[in-house]
Structure 1
Amino acid sequence: MKATQSTPSCDDNGIVIKDISSDTRVNYSGEKYTGYVLDKSTLLACPEVIPSFDCDTDEIFKEWSHSAWDDFHHAYLIIPTSVIEELNAISPENEVYYYIARQVLRRLRKLIEAVKFVSDEKKTDKLKTAIYFPQQKNLFTVFPNTRSLSFFGNSGLKDPVGQLLGAVDSAKRHAMIENLVLLTNDEAIAIRARASGIATDALTSKAPAYTGRREVTVPFELYEEFMNSNSGISLEMWQQFLPNESRLFANEFIVMSPKLGQNGYDVLKGKFEEYRNIGRFDCKQQRIVHLYYIHNLTTIRPKNAGQAMYLEAINHPDISVVVVTGSAGTGKTFLSTVCGKELHESHGFLQYITIPCAIDFQRAHGYLPGSFDEKIEPNIAPFKNALKNYLKLTEEKFKTAIKRSHNDKLDSTDREEANANPKKKGGKKSADANLGNDIERMADKLYRECYKTIAVEAARGLDLADAFVIYDEFQDQGPREADTLLKRLGTNVKAIIAGDIEQVHQEGLNRQNNGISFIKHYITDLPMVAQISLGKGEVVRSEFVKDYIARRDPNQD
């Protein structure tokens, strides 16, 4: 479900009802309301369940602020104050959840202050006072099941689950609701609740995860206009043809496919270059423009739409920060390393820096014996491997050797000759070994010529200006470290922030709470930032890896 501009904000509809049992506007006794008690896990996963405002300063929340709320009709949504205390007690150390908890509390405060919600002090435990939304016929309230609130992250709740289940039981009695459900995404709480005779259900966010790209089937006339125009199409035209499409973010990529007529006879005249159907929203021009910069990299070509977007973002002069996520084998490190190498040859920047963010290097640095270069070697291996693959594609002697190895299927005569002449056979093996050594030496030399490696700890005090910077395995940074590293970026910089949020190695971090997930909350829709999520169908390493990832994560895009 997507929010649209026509959705009215809650401050237009919210009405405080002092006593819902007697107010004729609600008809509480006549209508069959279903009660829902929301716990901490639900609010953290789905903050948009709290109605928001058109003046919400958080653009991401604002975009889908009604997506979950509109699913409820004839519902009485109840948030116990013990859950408020749990949210307030989330430590700043757990920075992603802390950020979301602050958003939830801020949204809730805006709501109750905007409609002047104050419970009847004589009936606070009776659930009589609520905010009524006539459009959905929903009720919303905060239930005071605790009498005190602890601050500064020190929760006074000794048994928060017990408090929650007690609030559900109390709400069922005082709200006079037969059908009352505890909404929780916590398996342990759900089991304990059901064992106590309380119905449960899960609530997950319907807010679209921002991937930096979208695929849209557009009217044929719009598609034809975009394909034939060198300057793309205006945002105004896009909105005229697609009024219900959610708004575009800065540097968001759009993969367009045409909606054909009833008879399927629409024909696009002329031949177009590959990826011509992909546009990028240029917020300065307020236009959806073509990919102009993917051809700056002369030695390699993108293998799929995701790589085309990635190369466009890296090479675009107005985009300073590129965040790329995706499974192993999608080309994240390869393309960034090769682009940096080519920019080095054209003197695009003064410095070319790699900052390995993998947690195993951070643990090893300063503890294992050896020089800095020896200790950091395992973590710069992905960059060198990228350069080796690049050399295989561009150096003639390596291309020839690889072609020969692919086609070297001996017939019977060749086998007999090889067996009769072992010296010749050994000579071929020796030549192949020499080629292997050559490519290792060349890749190492190329890396040393182009790049300087900086440890995460050393990067924290630097001003990275006039530089091409690659942060690799950024998901292994905690939110606080990610914040620090991001603030190192100075003027005239191109920063590639790469990682796979499905492979977090740092203890205490997870898919939602890691460096990449954290920074996405703050950088989305900035005019100098592009984000690209490479899908599992865009794995290029091998057919085996592609099929393995598809089976491992069948429901992941």
Structure 2
Amino acid sequence: MSAKRPSSPENVSRVYTVSQAERLRDLCGPHHRNLALLETRLKQHGLRAESQGGGIRLDGTEEGVSIAEAALAEFERRLRNGSEPTEMELDGALQAALSPSQSFNALKGLRKPVTAMTRGQARYIELLSQPDNALVFGVGPAGTGKTFLAVATGVAELQAGLRQRLIVTRPAVEAGEKLGFLPGTLEEKVDPYMLPIWDSLRELMGQEQMERRMLRGEIEVAPIAFMRGRTLKNAFVIVDEAQNTTVAQMKMVLTRLGRDSRMVVTGDPDQVDLPGSQASGLKHALKILDHVEGIVTHRLTAADVVRHGLVSRIIDAYAAAGES
């Protein structure tokens, strides 16, 4: 690891003890990469972290060492609950340590627990987990987890028996939703536009269970056009890529909500792909439904974008080279 930092009156040194050698390896990461990430994130506190005996020695300011201890404790808790020992998970643990007043609860009942990586995600999960929130708008840029966390909540409610069905719908703008003009079966026509949803479902519940529940009609993934004329009862409904719905489509799908159902609408109002000058149904709904009782809106930002650790290092390298 890094060279030892010269001691000073302002600095402290403590050892974070880890009882299991395997857990210590997971906390440190390959080639101590996780410790290097911790140092980078807390460099303003002069933090140095190195594996030492049965623990991790932390040197730096009192505040920096305390934050590092809290982050390692949260990271270790996540690992015990089944999370992977990745840099992204450590970043999420650090966010939790930096936000002690914000609850970072995990969504359970899934193939692996899903825990927030940012403060914005933590608040989003809180809102999604409250059954009284019958309609939740989750908006923000790509990479913030707005759709994945919505799907994870829907899967968790399905697994727990709180809902009988999970329905995910999104506009197929590229095909103008005139899917009848495309070759192949309905599944073949729909799949290119629904692939991100299938990927999320496979990750959250596994291929076998996903297929079994689909065959029983408990999971449905379809374009918005297929929602017309229906009442969606006892279901967890997700409207994805909602910025590409028209005003009429948005009104239609919102009014499909039936008894004992919940709906989550996700999208990025700044990335509308509708042809011509058509108004975005998401933008319109956010404006007119702002103060309607039972509807909540959560806005994720660029600060909630979760990237692979390598991407962060690539961005840092370009920044160091003076390139945007």
Corresponding residue number in structure 2 for 1:532: 298
CA distance in 2, matches of 1:528, 1:448: 30
Aligned-pair CA distance for 1:459: 0.9
Whole-Å Cα distance in 1 between the matches of residues 190 and 245 of structure 2?
17
1:277 match: 101
User: Does the 8 Å CA contact 1:387/1:443 hold for their aligned counterparts?
Assistant: no
State which of 348, 358, 364 in structure 1 corresponds to 2:172: 358
Matches of 2:122 and 2:233 in 1, distance apart?
A: 27
User: Any conservation in 2 of the 1:384–1:447 contact (CA below 8 Å)?
Assistant: no
1:485 paired with 2:253, answer yes
- Secondary structure in 1 matching 2:169: strand
Partner of 1:517: 283
What is residue 118 of structure 2 aligned with on the other side?
304
CA distance in 1, matches of 2:201, 2:140: 20
In the alignment, structure 1 residue 326 sits paired with structure 2 residue 106: no
**Match for residue 58 of structure 2?**
none
Aligned to 1:336: 150
User: Is contact 1:361–1:376 with CA below 8 Å preserved after alignment?
Assistant: no
Distance 1:548 1:446 in 2: 41
Aligned pairs (5 A) from 1:209-288: 274=96, 276-278=100-102
**1:147-180 Cα shifts (integer Å, max 9, x gaps):** xxxxxxxxxxxxxxxxxxxxxxxxxxxxxxxxxx
Whether the aligned pair in 2 keeps the contact of 1:314 and 1:494 (CA below 8 Å) is no
Higher helix share: 2
CA distance in 2, matches of 1:486, 1:518: 12
Task: Please tell me the residue identity of whatever aligns with 2:270.
Answer: E
Q: CA 1:359/1:305 → structure 2, altered by over 3 Å: closer, same or farther?
A: same
| C-alpha deviation, 1:509, in angstroms | 4.7
Taking the aligned partners of 1:461 and 1:548, their CA distance within structure 2 comes to: 49
Q: Retained in 2: the 8 A contact 1:358–1:474?
A: no
In the TM superposition, what whole-angstrom CA distance separates every residue of 1:179-219 from its partner, at most 9, and x where no partner exists? xxxxxxxxxxxxxxxxxxxxxxxxxxxxxxxxxxxxxxxxx
Where structure 1 has 5 or more consecutive residues not aligned to the other structure, the ranges are: 1-270, 279-290, 392-438, 552-557
Query: Taking structure 1 as reference, are residues 517 and 543 closer, same or farther at Cα in structure 2, changes over 3 Å only?
Result: farther
TM-aligned CA deviation for residue 471 of structure 1 = 0.5
TM-superposed CA distance for 1:309, in Å, is: 1.4
The Cα of 1:276 is off from its aligned counterpart by 5.0
* Structure having greater relative contact order (Cα 8 Å, sep ≥ 6): 2
- The one of 506, 528, 538 equivalent to 2:274 is 506
Alignment partners' CA distance in 2, 1:294 and 1:365? 40
**C-alpha separation between the residues in 1 aligned to 2:277 and 2:132?**
32
Show the counterpart of 2:185.
371
Is the CA contact (8 Å cut-off) linking 1:333 and 1:382 kept in structure 2? no
Q: CA RMSD in A?
A: 3.2
Aligned partner of 1:453 in structure 2 is 221
Q: Check conservation: 2:190, 2:222, Cα contact below 8 A.
A: no
Deviation at 1:516, TM superposition (A): 1.1
CA change 1:446–1:386 in 2 (3 A) is: farther
Take 1:347 and 1:336, find their aligned partners in 2: how far apart are those partners?
A: 17
Structure 2 CA distance for aligned equivalents of residues 318 and 340 of structure 1: 15
Whichever residue aligns with residue 236 of structure 2, its letter is F
Question: Counterparts in 2 of 1:17-56, with a 5 A limit?
Answer: none
Partner of 2:6: none
Query: Deviation at 1:334?
Result: 1.1
For residue 180 of structure 2, give the secondary structure of its aligned residue in structure 1. Answer: coil
Task: Please list every run of 5 or more consecutive structure 2 residues that lacks an aligned counterpart in the other structure.
Answer: 1-69, 75-95, 319-324
Aligned 8 A contact 2:107 2:114 in 1: no
Matched, 1:476 2:287: no
- Cα 1:295/1:527, change in 2 over 3 Å: farther
Inter-partner Cα distance in structure 2 for 1:525 and 1:294: 27
* Superposition deviation, residue 495 in structure 1: 0.4
Are residues 323 and 385 of structure 1, via their aligned partners in 2, closer, same or farther at CA, if it must alter by over 3 Å?
same
Instruction: Kindly indicate whether the alpha-carbon contact (under 8 Å) linking 1:353 and 1:469 is maintained by their aligned counterparts in 2.
Output: yes
2: CA distance between counterparts of 1:455 and 1:376? 7
Aligned residues: 219
Q: 1:326 to 1:358 in 2, by over 3 A?
A: farther
> Does the aligned pair in 2 maintain the 1:470–1:495 contact within 8 Å?
yes
Q: Structure 1 CA distance, aligned partners of 2:139 and 2:312?
A: 16
Cα distance in 2, alignment partners of residues 308 and 350 from structure 1: 26
Q: TM-score, normalised by structure 2?
A: 0.59
